[in-house]
Amino acid sequence: MVAQNIFFGILATIVALSAVRMVTTRNIVHAALYLVAVLAGLGALYVLLTAEFVATTQVLVYIGAVMVLFLFGIMLTKAPLGNVMEMTGKQWPLAAVVAALLGGVTIYSLIDRFGSERLASGGPVYRTADVSDEVFSTYIVPFEAVSVLLLAALIGAIVLARKD
């Protein structure tokens, strides 16, 4: 487990530093790129947890699609070079309070639930087939509900975007 611990430390540091830089940088494209680093680091953490399918999905959906769309939108509208943007909004103290609260609740609930429990060495390996079996049997109702929700959002977006 030593190697995993070392890599966890490295990845966690990268993710935390990138997250901090993402909100403090003064260039909007840099902020988006730091977010890419955060998401990629999270994907690598999923690999450490032997959740290979989730890690791949993370890369495909968040980096390959969502972040590319973000960058595409930013560059299509306004993406000046250099530190010119005033990026800190007026509500930043409020946002800081919300973030601290959210972080606090998450940390508290995790410690409360797991405490000093340790993951068994070797751990379970989640194969892709297991994940899909679970999704299409145990979690079939939430899965269908989410897909209907996404379809509604999709149609809504098209209706809003249509001019005629």
How far CA 56 is from CA of 103, 128, 143, in Å, comes to: 26, 11, 19
The token duo for 50 is 């032997």
Would you count residue 87 as binding other proteins (CB under 8 A)? Answer: no
Would you count residue 33 as binding other proteins (CB under 8 A)? Answer: yes
Single out the residue of 88, 36, 84, 81 nearest to residue 62, CA to CA.
36
Instruction: Out of 79, 85, 87, 143, point to the residue binding other proteins (CB under 8 A).
Output: 79
Binding piece for other proteins, criterion CB under 8 A, among 6-14, 23-31, 98-106, 140-148: 23-31
Q: Where do runs of H (alpha helix) occur along 49-91?
A: 52-57, 68-77
Q: How many C-beta neighbours within 10 Å does residue 40 have?
A: 19
Size of the site for other proteins (CB under 8 A): 26
8 A C-beta contact, residue 32 and residue 75:
no
Instruction: Out of 12, 16, 20, 60, point to the residue binding other proteins (CB under 8 A).
Output: 60
Taking the complex as a whole, how short is the minimal distance between the CB of residue 60 and other proteins, in angstroms?
A: 4
The binding site for other proteins (CB under 8 A) comprises 27, 29-30, 33, 36, 52-53, 56-57, 59-60, 63-65, 67-69, 71-72, 75-76, 79, 81-82, 127-128
